[in-house]
Structure 1
Amino acid sequence: MKKRKIEVSVISDVHLGTYGSHADELIAYLNSIQPKILILNGDIIDIWQFSKRYFPTSHLKVLKKILGMAANGVEVYYITGNHDEMLRKFAETTLGNIHIVNKLALELDGKKAWFFHGDVFDVSIQKAKWLAKLGGYGYSLLILLNNGINWVNTKMKKEKFSLSKKIKNNVKGAIKFISDFEKTAAELAIDNEFDYVVCGHIHQPKKTYFENKKGNCIYLNSGDWVENLTALEYNFKRWKIYHYKHDKLSPFFADEDIKKMNLQELISSAIQKTNPPSA
Structure 2
Amino acid sequence: METNFKTIILSDIHLGTKGSKAKEVVRFLKQHECENLILNGDIIDGWQLKKSGSWKRKHTRVFNRILKMIDSNKTKVFYLRGNHDDFLDQVLPLEIGRLSILKDMIYESNGRRYFITHGDVFDNITTNLRWIAYLGDIGYTFLLWLNTQVNLYRRKKGLPYFSLSQYVKSKVKSAVTYIDDFEKELCKIAKSKNCDGIICGHIHKAEIRNIDGIDYYNSGDWVESLSALAEDHKGNWQLIYYNELDFSQTDKNKVVKMKDITLNQAKNFY
| TM-score (norm. length: structure 2) | 0.87
1:158 corresponds to which letter in structure 2? L
* Alignment correspondent of 1:179: 180
SS in structure 1 at match of 2:228: strand
The structure whose Rg is larger is: 2
1:155 CA displacement:
1.8
Contact 1:18 1:54 in 2 (8 A): yes
2:54 corresponds to which letter in structure 1? Y
Contact 2:16 2:48 in 1 (8 A): yes
Going from structure 1 to structure 2, the CA distance change for 1:28 and 1:252 (only over 3 Å counts) comes to farther
1:163 CA displacement:
1.1
Contact 1:17 1:46 in 2 (8 A): yes
* Alignment correspondent of 1:229: 226
SS in structure 1 at match of 2:46: coil
Contact 1:27 1:65 in 2 (8 A): yes
Partners of 2:56 and 2:155 in 1: CA distance: 23
1:99 corresponds to which letter in structure 2? S
- Between 1 and 2, higher relative CO (CA 8 Å, sep ≥ 6) is seen in 1
Paired residue total: 249
Q: Tell me, which stretches of 5 or more residues in structure 1 are unaligned?
A: 256-279
Partners of 2:247 and 2:113 in 1: CA distance: 31
Greater share of helix residues, 1 or 2?
2
Partners of 1:120 and 1:94 in 2: CA distance: 22
1:62-73 equivalences under 5 Å are: 62-72=62-72, 73=74
User: Residues 34-90 of structure 1: CA distance to partner in whole angstroms, max 9, x if unpaired?
Assistant: 100000000000001116862232222112111221223110000000000010221
Going from structure 1 to structure 2, the CA distance change for 1:76 and 1:252 (only over 3 Å counts) comes to farther
1:141 CA displacement:
2.0
Partners of 2:93 and 2:71 in 1: CA distance: 19
1:198 CA displacement:
0.2
Partners of 2:235 and 2:219 in 1: CA distance: 17
Going from structure 1 to structure 2, the CA distance change for 1:252 and 1:148 (only over 3 Å counts) comes to farther
Contact 2:197 2:215 in 1 (8 A): yes
* Alignment correspondent of 1:258: none
Instruction: Please list every run of at least 4 consecutive aligned residues from structure 1 whose deviation after the TM superposition is greater than 4 angstroms.
Output: none
User: Residues 79-121 of structure 1: CA distance to partner in whole angstroms, max 9, x if unpaired?
Assistant: 0000000102211101221100000112101111110001012
Partners of 2:65 and 2:2 in 1: CA distance: 14
SS in structure 1 at match of 2:17: coil
Partners of 1:36 and 1:101 in 2: CA distance: 18
Going from structure 1 to structure 2, the CA distance change for 1:252 and 1:66 (only over 3 Å counts) comes to farther
* Alignment correspondent of 1:217: 214
* Alignment correspondent of 1:79: 80
Let me know the Cα RMSD of the aligned residues.
1.9
Contact 1:109 1:237 in 2 (8 A): yes
User: Residues 225-277 of structure 1: CA distance to partner in whole angstroms, max 9, x if unpaired?
Assistant: 11111110001211101111123444868x9xxxxxxxxxxxxxxxxxxxxxx
User: Residues 156-200 of structure 1: CA distance to partner in whole angstroms, max 9, x if unpaired?
Assistant: 212221111110010010001100111011121112211121001
| TM-score (norm. length: structure 1) | 0.84
2:89 corresponds to which letter in structure 1? R
SS in structure 2 at match of 1:145: helix
Contact 2:81 2:118 in 1 (8 A): yes
SS in structure 2 at match of 1:50: helix
* Alignment correspondent of 2:61: 61
Query: Which stretch shows the higher mean deviation, 242-251 or 78-87?
Result: 242-251
1:100-249 equivalences under 5 Å are: 100-211=101-212, 216-235=213-232, 236-249=234-247
Q: Percent of counterpart pairs with the same letter?
A: 36
Partners of 1:228 and 1:66 in 2: CA distance: 21
SS in structure 1 at match of 2:198: strand
